[in-house]
Amino acid sequence: MIKIIPSIDIVDGKCVRLTQGKFDEKKVYDNDPIAVAKRFAEAGIERIHVVDLDGAKAGQVVNYKILETITKETKLKVDFGGGVKSDEDIKKVFDCGAHQASIGTVAVKNPKLLLNWLQKYGPEKIILGADVLGGIVRINGWVNPTEIKLFDFITNYQWHGIRYVLCTDIEKDGMMKGSSIDLYKSIRKQFPDMRIIASGGVSSIEEIKQLDKIGCYGVVIGKAIYENLISLEDLVKLSNS
Protein backbone atom coordinates (compact mmCIF):
# COMPACT_ATOMS: atom_id res chain seq x y z
CA MET A 1 0.00 0.00 0.00
CA ILE A 2 1.13 3.54 -0.73
CA LYS A 3 2.84 5.34 2.19
CA ILE A 4 0.66 8.09 3.65
CA ILE A 5 2.80 11.14 4.52
CA PRO A 6 1.09 14.20 6.06
CA SER A 7 3.06 17.42 5.67
CA ILE A 8 3.96 20.03 8.27
CA ASP A 9 5.24 23.25 6.69
CA ILE A 10 6.88 25.69 9.07
CA VAL A 11 7.07 29.49 8.79
CA ASP A 12 8.01 31.64 11.81
CA GLY A 13 7.85 28.48 13.90
CA LYS A 14 4.17 27.93 13.02
CA CYS A 15 2.35 25.26 11.02
CA VAL A 16 1.22 26.86 7.76
CA ARG A 17 0.21 26.05 4.21
CA LEU A 18 1.13 28.09 1.17
CA THR A 19 -0.63 28.24 -2.18
CA GLN A 20 1.68 27.31 -5.07
CA GLY A 21 4.64 28.08 -2.78
CA LYS A 22 3.78 31.77 -2.40
CA PHE A 23 4.79 33.13 1.00
CA ASP A 24 2.32 36.03 0.69
CA GLU A 25 -0.50 33.47 0.41
CA LYS A 26 0.18 31.59 3.61
CA LYS A 27 -2.43 30.45 6.09
CA VAL A 28 -1.53 29.58 9.67
CA TYR A 29 -3.25 26.40 10.85
CA ASP A 30 -1.55 25.95 14.21
CA ASN A 31 0.97 27.90 16.25
CA ASP A 32 2.57 24.67 17.44
CA PRO A 33 3.90 22.23 14.79
CA ILE A 34 4.94 19.82 17.55
CA ALA A 35 1.33 19.54 18.74
CA VAL A 36 0.26 18.88 15.14
CA ALA A 37 2.85 16.11 14.82
CA LYS A 38 1.63 14.55 18.06
CA ARG A 39 -1.96 14.56 16.78
CA PHE A 40 -0.79 12.76 13.65
CA ALA A 41 1.08 10.19 15.73
CA GLU A 42 -1.86 9.62 18.08
CA ALA A 43 -4.16 9.03 15.09
CA GLY A 44 -1.86 6.22 13.93
CA ILE A 45 0.15 8.03 11.24
CA GLU A 46 3.67 6.57 10.96
CA ARG A 47 5.61 9.13 8.91
CA ILE A 48 5.48 12.84 8.11
CA HIS A 49 7.13 15.32 5.77
CA VAL A 50 8.47 18.42 7.57
CA VAL A 51 9.34 21.44 5.44
CA ASP A 52 11.45 24.21 6.97
CA LEU A 53 10.22 27.09 4.81
CA ASP A 54 12.15 29.53 7.00
CA GLY A 55 15.24 27.46 6.20
CA ALA A 56 14.48 27.41 2.47
CA LYS A 57 14.34 31.21 2.54
CA ALA A 58 17.42 31.62 4.75
CA GLY A 59 19.58 29.12 2.85
CA GLN A 60 20.28 27.07 5.96
CA VAL A 61 18.28 24.90 8.35
CA VAL A 62 16.41 27.06 10.87
CA ASN A 63 13.75 24.95 12.62
CA TYR A 64 15.92 22.01 13.68
CA LYS A 65 14.76 22.28 17.31
CA ILE A 66 11.19 21.56 16.22
CA LEU A 67 12.46 18.52 14.30
CA GLU A 68 14.41 17.32 17.32
CA THR A 69 11.39 17.64 19.63
CA ILE A 70 9.10 15.79 17.21
CA THR A 71 11.51 12.88 16.85
CA LYS A 72 12.15 12.70 20.62
CA GLU A 73 8.51 12.93 21.68
CA THR A 74 6.89 10.76 18.99
CA LYS A 75 7.76 7.60 17.05
CA LEU A 76 7.11 9.32 13.71
CA LYS A 77 9.55 8.79 10.87
CA VAL A 78 10.32 12.29 9.62
CA ASP A 79 11.62 13.24 6.23
CA PHE A 80 12.92 16.78 6.49
CA GLY A 81 13.50 19.38 3.78
CA GLY A 82 14.14 23.08 3.46
CA GLY A 83 17.47 24.86 3.79
CA VAL A 84 19.64 21.74 3.77
CA LYS A 85 22.55 23.30 1.90
CA SER A 86 25.76 22.28 3.70
CA ASP A 87 27.51 19.38 5.45
CA GLU A 88 26.66 21.09 8.74
CA ASP A 89 22.97 21.31 7.81
CA ILE A 90 22.53 17.67 6.86
CA LYS A 91 24.49 16.47 9.89
CA LYS A 92 22.27 18.60 12.13
CA VAL A 93 19.13 17.20 10.47
CA PHE A 94 20.19 13.59 11.04
CA ASP A 95 21.52 14.35 14.54
CA CYS A 96 18.07 15.76 15.35
CA GLY A 97 16.49 12.45 14.39
CA ALA A 98 15.32 12.83 10.80
CA HIS A 99 14.73 9.50 9.07
CA GLN A 100 15.46 11.01 5.64
CA ALA A 101 16.49 14.35 4.17
CA SER A 102 14.83 15.81 1.07
CA ILE A 103 17.35 17.61 -1.12
CA GLY A 104 16.34 19.86 -4.01
CA THR A 105 18.36 23.05 -4.50
CA VAL A 106 21.72 21.41 -3.73
CA ALA A 107 20.93 18.71 -6.31
CA VAL A 108 20.82 21.46 -8.94
CA LYS A 109 23.48 23.87 -7.74
CA ASN A 110 26.04 21.56 -6.13
CA PRO A 111 25.67 17.99 -7.45
CA LYS A 112 29.09 17.01 -6.10
CA LEU A 113 27.93 17.78 -2.56
CA LEU A 114 24.81 15.64 -2.95
CA LEU A 115 26.87 12.76 -4.32
CA ASN A 116 29.12 13.05 -1.26
CA TRP A 117 26.05 12.80 0.97
CA LEU A 118 24.79 9.77 -0.94
CA GLN A 119 28.12 8.08 -0.35
CA LYS A 120 28.33 9.10 3.30
CA TYR A 121 24.74 8.47 4.44
CA GLY A 122 23.51 5.96 1.84
CA PRO A 123 20.64 6.09 -0.68
CA GLU A 124 18.03 5.10 1.93
CA LYS A 125 18.61 8.40 3.76
CA ILE A 126 18.38 10.82 0.83
CA ILE A 127 15.26 11.86 -1.12
CA LEU A 128 15.71 13.80 -4.36
CA GLY A 129 13.37 16.78 -4.21
CA ALA A 130 12.04 17.50 -7.69
CA ASP A 131 9.82 20.58 -7.57
CA VAL A 132 8.42 21.23 -11.02
CA LEU A 133 6.36 23.79 -12.89
CA GLY A 134 5.49 22.97 -16.48
CA GLY A 135 7.96 20.09 -16.47
CA ILE A 136 10.89 22.34 -15.45
CA VAL A 137 12.67 22.04 -12.10
CA ARG A 138 12.52 25.00 -9.69
CA ILE A 139 14.78 25.68 -6.70
CA ASN A 140 15.19 27.91 -3.62
CA GLY A 141 11.74 27.23 -2.22
CA TRP A 142 10.24 27.12 -5.74
CA VAL A 143 11.19 30.75 -6.39
CA ASN A 144 13.82 30.30 -9.09
CA PRO A 145 13.32 28.40 -12.36
CA THR A 146 16.16 26.37 -13.86
CA GLU A 147 16.61 25.08 -17.39
CA ILE A 148 16.52 21.47 -16.24
CA LYS A 149 13.77 19.14 -17.44
CA LEU A 150 12.27 16.84 -14.83
CA PHE A 151 13.11 13.56 -16.57
CA ASP A 152 16.71 14.63 -17.23
CA PHE A 153 17.03 15.58 -13.55
CA ILE A 154 15.80 12.20 -12.31
CA THR A 155 17.80 10.24 -14.90
CA ASN A 156 21.06 11.90 -13.87
CA TYR A 157 20.63 11.00 -10.21
CA GLN A 158 19.31 7.54 -10.94
CA TRP A 159 22.71 6.79 -12.44
CA HIS A 160 24.28 7.91 -9.16
CA GLY A 161 22.14 5.66 -6.98
CA ILE A 162 19.17 7.81 -5.92
CA ARG A 163 16.21 5.59 -5.05
CA TYR A 164 13.65 8.06 -3.71
CA VAL A 165 12.15 11.01 -5.60
CA LEU A 166 9.67 13.45 -4.06
CA CYS A 167 8.03 15.19 -7.01
CA THR A 168 5.86 18.22 -6.29
CA ASP A 169 3.74 19.76 -9.02
CA ILE A 170 3.88 23.42 -7.99
CA GLU A 171 0.92 24.33 -10.16
CA LYS A 172 -1.27 21.95 -8.14
CA ASP A 173 0.19 22.57 -4.68
CA GLY A 174 -2.25 24.04 -2.17
CA MET A 175 -5.00 24.35 -4.78
CA MET A 176 -6.94 21.24 -3.63
CA LYS A 177 -8.11 20.68 -7.20
CA GLY A 178 -6.56 17.28 -7.67
CA SER A 179 -3.18 15.65 -8.08
CA SER A 180 -1.21 15.36 -11.35
CA ILE A 181 -2.08 11.71 -11.93
CA ASP A 182 -0.88 11.79 -15.55
CA LEU A 183 2.47 13.27 -14.50
CA TYR A 184 3.07 10.50 -11.98
CA LYS A 185 1.97 7.86 -14.47
CA SER A 186 4.60 9.11 -16.91
CA ILE A 187 7.30 9.21 -14.20
CA ARG A 188 6.45 5.67 -13.11
CA LYS A 189 6.56 4.47 -16.71
CA GLN A 190 9.97 6.08 -17.28
CA PHE A 191 11.46 5.11 -13.89
CA PRO A 192 9.76 1.86 -12.77
CA ASP A 193 12.46 1.07 -10.20
CA MET A 194 12.39 4.45 -8.44
CA ARG A 195 10.34 5.06 -5.31
CA ILE A 196 8.20 8.00 -6.38
CA ILE A 197 6.49 10.17 -3.76
CA ALA A 198 3.67 12.31 -5.15
CA SER A 199 2.97 15.77 -3.77
CA GLY A 200 0.71 18.66 -4.65
CA GLY A 201 -3.04 19.08 -4.88
CA VAL A 202 -4.15 15.78 -3.35
CA SER A 203 -7.74 16.38 -2.24
CA SER A 204 -9.47 13.00 -1.86
CA ILE A 205 -9.04 9.41 -0.77
CA GLU A 206 -9.93 8.36 -4.33
CA GLU A 207 -6.86 10.19 -5.70
CA ILE A 208 -4.64 8.45 -3.19
CA LYS A 209 -6.04 5.11 -4.39
CA GLN A 210 -5.27 6.14 -7.98
CA LEU A 211 -1.69 7.04 -7.05
CA ASP A 212 -1.37 3.70 -5.30
CA LYS A 213 -2.72 1.89 -8.37
CA ILE A 214 -0.10 3.44 -10.66
CA GLY A 215 2.65 2.37 -8.26
CA CYS A 216 3.65 5.51 -6.36
CA TYR A 217 5.67 4.67 -3.26
CA GLY A 218 4.18 7.48 -1.18
CA VAL A 219 1.94 10.53 -1.19
CA VAL A 220 2.38 13.80 0.70
CA ILE A 221 -0.88 15.36 1.87
CA GLY A 222 -1.14 18.83 3.38
CA LYS A 223 -3.96 21.30 2.93
CA ALA A 224 -6.62 18.63 2.41
CA ILE A 225 -6.00 17.45 6.00
CA TYR A 226 -5.97 20.94 7.50
CA GLU A 227 -9.13 21.96 5.60
CA ASN A 228 -10.85 18.71 6.69
CA LEU A 229 -11.32 17.35 3.17
CA ILE A 230 -9.55 14.15 4.23
CA SER A 231 -9.67 12.81 7.79
CA LEU A 232 -6.72 11.26 9.58
CA GLU A 233 -8.95 8.31 10.46
CA ASP A 234 -9.63 7.62 6.78
CA LEU A 235 -5.93 7.93 5.95
CA VAL A 236 -4.98 5.47 8.68
CA LYS A 237 -7.71 3.04 7.53
CA LEU A 238 -6.40 3.28 3.99
CA SER A 239 -2.79 2.69 5.00
CA ASN A 240 -3.85 -0.39 6.99
CA SER A 241 -6.04 -1.84 4.23
Rounded CA-CA distance 8/50 in Å is 5
Question: Rounded to the nearest 5°, which phi and psi values hold at 136?
Answer: -110, 135
Of 9, 52, 169, 212, the active-site residue reads 9
Give the separation between CA 85 and CA 69, rounded to whole angstroms: 22
Which of these is catalytic: 52, 89, 131, 169? 131
User: Which neighbouring-strand residues pair with 52?
Assistant: 10
Task: Please say if 9 is a catalytic residue.
Answer: yes
| b/e sequence 105-135, b meaning 16+ C-beta within 10 Å | bbbbeeeebbbebbeeeebebbbbbbbbbee
Name which of 114, 108, 105, 67 is nearest 83 in CA terms: 105
CA–CA distance, 111 with 3 (Å, rounded to integer): 28
Return the number of other C-beta atoms located less than 10 Å from residue 46's C-beta: 14
131 is catalytic: yes
**Catalytic residues, which ones?**
9, 131
